[in-house]
Amino acid sequence: MQLPENKQQKVKNAFFYLKDSFRFHDVGVPYFVQIIFVTMLAILFAGYVLSLPYAEEMNRVSIIIMTKLQEIAGAGDPNTADVSGVVTPDIAERMIAALGGFVGLMLIAKVIVQALSLFYAYVWHLKRVTPGMPFSLAAQGFLKVLFRLALNNLLFYGALVLAGVAMTVSFAVIGMLLPPLALLLVSLLPILFFIATSVFAFRDMSVMVGNAGVLRAFRAAWRLTNGCRRAVLSNMMLMYIIGMAVSWVAVGISSQTLVATFAASFFEVLLLLVTQRLIVRMYEDARGLVIKESHPPKATE
């Protein structure tokens, strides 16, 4: 699909896109947003609820371990205390089972929700560039790129996990010599994760509408942010900060009511759709796509 390009157009600050991004209900397909929002909300809410028993089990096991450590510390010299019996095979098995169940359920829920949000972004972009395109053709187009999209995300997040593990091990070794420095380096991991995901924020759009391959999408995303990375980073920072706040609410749901869990899921889905719209708008400007707005913003004096 070839569209007119305007090389003068660049990625703007988040406030320019904010109003359009929060109009997540406006896609141009009747009932599409309602159906996809409710589906995403149901899946994410179910993931949180089903993972609660595993989170509670991890909490119980952690209390047992902490209690044993406190007993050992109060019984004598901590430097000569024997802690080999703190984590017994039974305790280790319970912790691994609980952690595996929690991570597995949440991973499945998050992956499905993320895929649906990308479908939403794909449909909205196509409706912007080709308003008359039938929804069925958009759905078929997304299914055609879904495999490449999955491989691209698997490579990207797999690489981030491996890099995170490698850096954590390295920081642990450094911590044996310089503990304060290790703590400082560990605190940088979320920042590095944010930078990586922001710089390559256009990967998914490059695969879906840019016809980039699994590996070429990384180069395409990198090139698209050339000259506007500061704007992309600052825009994504706003979404990242809000997302972290939502995540903190979600992490603490084990001691909250189902109503609070539902509210956390609701706002997380809403924020995800808003973020996808922001990425779509930035991608269009980064490519210099000239799109005639159905409801152009009013000019300001």
pLDDT digits (tens, 9 = 90+) for 259-294: 778 888 888 899 999 999 999 999 998 887 656 554
> Which of 191, 256, 200, 196 lies closest to 223, judged by CA?
200
Is the residue at 299 inside a domain?
A: no
* Token output for 98: 């609980």
Beta bridge partners of 289: 5
Length of the chain: 301
The reply to whether 6 falls in a domain is no
CA geometry: angle at 205 spanning 262 and 203, to 5°? 90
pLDDT band, very low/low/confident/very high, at 143 (cuts 50, 70, 90)? very high
Question: Can you read off the two tokens belonging to residue 113?
Answer: 């929700």
288: left (phi over 0), alpha (psi -120 to 50) or beta: left
Separation between Cα atoms, residue 278 and residue 121, nearest integer Å: 10
Q: What is the rounded CA–CA span in Å between residue 168 and residue 19?
A: 39
Closest Cα to residue 279, out of 209, 177, 227?
209
Q: Is residue 207 part of a domain?
A: yes
113 inside domain: yes
Are the beta carbons of 209 and 122 closer than 8 angstroms?
yes
The model's pLDDT over 43-89, given as tens digits with 9 standing for 90+, comes to 999 999 999 899 889 988 888 888 877 777 666 655 555 556 677 78
Amino acid at 83: V
Query: What is the C-alpha to C-alpha distance for residues 201 and 279, in angstroms, rounded to an integer?
Result: 7
Within-domain flag for 10: no
Handedness of CA 149, 151, 157, 160 (dihedral sign): negative
pLDDT of 84: 62
Task: Name the residue range of residue 220's domain.
Answer: 15-78+85-287
Q: Does the pLDDT at position 193 exceed 50?
A: yes
Count of structural domains within the chain: 1
Residue keyed to tokens 């000569």: 80
CB 207 within 8 A of CB 148: yes
Residue 239, in any domain of the structure = yes
